[in-house]
Amino acid sequence: MAGVSAGSVALVVPDEVGVLDLYELGIPATVFGMPQPDLADPWYDLWLCGTDARAREPVRGLALRSRHRLDDIVGADTVIVAWVPDEVIEADAPVPPELVAALRRAHEAGARMVSLCVGAFALAEAGLLDGRRATAHWMHTAQLAERYPKVLVDDSVLYVDDGDVLTSAGMTAGLDLCLHLVRRDLGAHVANQLARRMVVPAHRPGGQAQFIDLSVPTTDGNGLTPVLDWARAHLDRPLTIDDLARRAAVSPRTFYRRLREATGTTPLRWLLNQRLGRAQSLLESTDLPVERIAKLSGLGTANNLRYHFVKQIGISPGDYRRTFPRRLRASHRPGRESPSAVAAGPRRRAGDPA
């Protein structure tokens, strides 16, 4: 693809960089900053645009000296924001006004605007996500939605392409979006070849839901922990609200109210989440057939498991299992495993933090 210009990409970087910042910034820097002359020549022209072009003494990590200033993003074809200051997330502090102003000017100049992970807070503060569907890391989507009610926050997807504004979830979902941009700009062949070189899937099925822990945390304020622990150990049995209320020595109505107060969800939804969590664990750690996993998790049949898995997690059990190397899964002969023994193993979650 000699002669095809991929355009300029301005990556907004802080003047002080922590370890996690390096990861978030390293993904777009690798995709857009490493020439691939056999795939497209010229490749992207990557600009590191610092919020402060002066080198400073590092406070919590490393200091960057960037050739480009923040104002330079106005001249770029694509602008990527992969961070905001920690206090924006941790203390609801305002996004730096100079960053907000620069993002607005870049958008008005016709730049394609992209956020990775918490970078969505900067685009939202600039008003660029108002009325648009957008996403961020699922751990921060509730905060994003509360802080910016005009944004249509979707916590179920890895990334959102809304034409001239694109947003992604955290960590590896940022790589998914970067490869999607390459696919848009240079075609599927180039994106697929680049993904192969990076030893990653060119496109991952499903969304963020496959990485969210479905086991809702509970408090012990209502004394439900022993009952809920017992239920988790017996998920292969048919369980009803009456069963759990009886073990808690309260009426079904009282149990419903207390569980709702403690977990934020209903007893039936809590049980379904636990069953799906058990199924995830078995898919991750064993080679048991789906039919057996459905019984051990209390979902009955393989069809029922597939239905709820796709509906709740957004991906089939088979696709979910394929994301885990076979060498990490234990083999079990039929009839030799027990629900309690399998459940006692360490829980391994997928992903990053989409």
Q: Is the overall model pTM greater than 0.75, yes or no?
A: no
What average pLDDT does the chain have? 81
Interatomic CA distance for residues 336 and 330, integer angstroms: 12
- H or E element, residue 232: helix 225-233
What is the token pair recorded at 30? 């690798």
- pLDDT surpasses 90 at 234: yes
pLDDT of residue 261: 78
What pLDDT, in 10s, does the model give residues 24-62? Answer: 788 999 999 999 999 998 999 999 998 763 333 444 455
CB 306 within 8 A of CB 264: no
- pLDDT surpasses 80 at 87: yes
Average the pLDDT over 268-277 and give the result: 88
What pLDDT, in 10s, does the model give residues 182-217? Answer: 988 988 888 888 988 987 776 665 555 555 555 554
Share of the chain above pLDDT 90, in %: 47
Which CATH code of 1.10.10.60, 3.40.50.2300, 1.20.1250.20, 3.50.50.60 fits the domain covering 225-343?
1.10.10.60
| CA neighbor of 81 nearest in space, from 57, 99, 54 | 99
pLDDT of residue 62: 54
Average the pLDDT over 272-297 and give the result: 89
SS3 327: helix
331 burial (CB, 10 Å; 0-12 / 13-18 / 19+) is exposed
CB 70 within 8 A of CB 126: no
Q: Which residues contact 202 (CB under 8 A, 6 or more apart)?
A: 179, 183, 188, 191, 192, 195, 196
What is the token pair recorded at 230? 């017992």
Q: Which residue has the higher pLDDT, 262 or 278?
A: 278
What pLDDT, in 10s, does the model give residues 121-164? Answer: 999 999 999 999 999 998 899 999 999 999 999 887 888 889 89
* Boundaries of every domain in the chain: 8-204, 225-343
What is the token pair recorded at 159? 């990334």
pLDDT of residue 192: 83
pLDDT of residue 20: 61
Neighbours of 235 (CB within 10 A): 20
What pLDDT, in 10s, does the model give residues 135-144? Answer: 999 889 999 9
* Least trusted range by pLDDT, from 14-18, 135-139, 312-316: 14-18
Average the pLDDT over 53-72 and give the result: 60
CATH for the stretch 8-204? 3.40.50.880
Cα torsion through 293, 296, 300, 305, rounded to 10: -40
Go through the chain and tell me how many residues it has: 354
